[in-house]
């Protein structure tokens, strides 16, 4: 077996330095663009919502709430005086999840206005994505892990809802059916 040697040309003086300078320049440009993109979203929720409203399937209400029907439910929609059993995941525009619960009862009039409005659009079994502008969320106040002025993004599933009167009646029936304590 024989080995054939292939002659390699020497690298021109300074080529390796220019290559690394080019790689560093590209990395710096990419980092700057990524930073600028995040600053644009964080600095201007109104700009994000204006651009987002043009996307296919996104509906904007007169109040400014944006939503998209992922899966339509059936039957009537709840009212502000009802209590809904929902599953949800709440996140910020950058994808940071700030709250999540697969099944929780919520009084519809006891949540931020944008979430309440979104729930009242849904039907049993429905799945929606909500984009809540700051003025329908927490506004200029920080709320736990949610920075002030944030657009809130929620994926919501409406499992069930009941009126408060139905819940009171169910509670009374449960109390009547429970054994009475002995004296």
Q: Which residues pair with 130 in a beta bridge?
A: 67, 154
The structure's pTM equals: 0.71
Q: Is residue 13 part of a domain?
A: no
Q: Is the pLDDT of residue 181 over 90?
A: no
* Per-residue pLDDT, 42: 47
* Per-residue pLDDT, 182: 59
Range of the domain at 92: 48-169
At 14, is the pLDDT very low, low, confident or very high (cuts 50, 70, 90)?
A: confident
Q: What is the CATH number of the domain that holds 137?
A: 3.10.50.40
Q: Is residue 76 part of a domain?
A: yes
Q: Is residue 10 part of a domain?
A: no
Give the tens place of pLDDT for each residue, 153-162.
999 999 999 9
Element of type H or E holding 81: none
Q: Is residue 90 part of a domain?
A: yes
Residues 6 or more apart whose CB falls under 8 angstroms from that of 112 comprise 132, 136, 137, 138, 152
Give the tens place of pLDDT for each residue, 114-138.
999 999 999 999 999 999 999 999 9
The total domain count for the chain is: 1
Residue 156's SS3 state is strand
Give the tens place of pLDDT for each residue, 46-103.
999 999 999 999 999 999 999 999 999 999 999 999 999 999 999 999 999 999 999 9
58 or 18, greater pLDDT? 58
- Buried residues in 40-54 as b, exposed as e (16+ CB within 10 A): eebeebeebbeebee
């Amino acid at each position: 077996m024989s080995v054939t040697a292939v002659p390699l040309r020497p690298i021109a003086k300074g080529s390796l330095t220019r290559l690394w300078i080019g790689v560093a320049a590209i990395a710096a440009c990419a980092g700057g663009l990524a930073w600028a993109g995040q600053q644009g979203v964080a600095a201007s929720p109104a700009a994000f919502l204006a651009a987002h409203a043009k996307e296919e399937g996104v509906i904007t209400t007169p109040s400014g709430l944006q939503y998209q029907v992922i899966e339509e439910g059936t039957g009537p929609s709840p009212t502000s005086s009802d209590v809904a059993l929902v599953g949800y995941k709440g996140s910020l525009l950058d994808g940071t999840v700030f709250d999540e619960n697969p099944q929780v009862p919520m009084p519809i009039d006891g949540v931020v206005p944008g979430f309440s409005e979104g729930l009242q659009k849904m039907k049993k079994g429905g799945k929606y994505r909500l984009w809540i502008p700051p003025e329908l969320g927490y506004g200029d106040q920080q709320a736990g892990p949610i920075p002030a002025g944030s657009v809130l993004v929620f994926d919501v599933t409406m499992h069930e809802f009941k009126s408060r009167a139905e819940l009171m009646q169910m509670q009374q029936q449960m109390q009547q059916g429970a054994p009475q304590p002995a004296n």
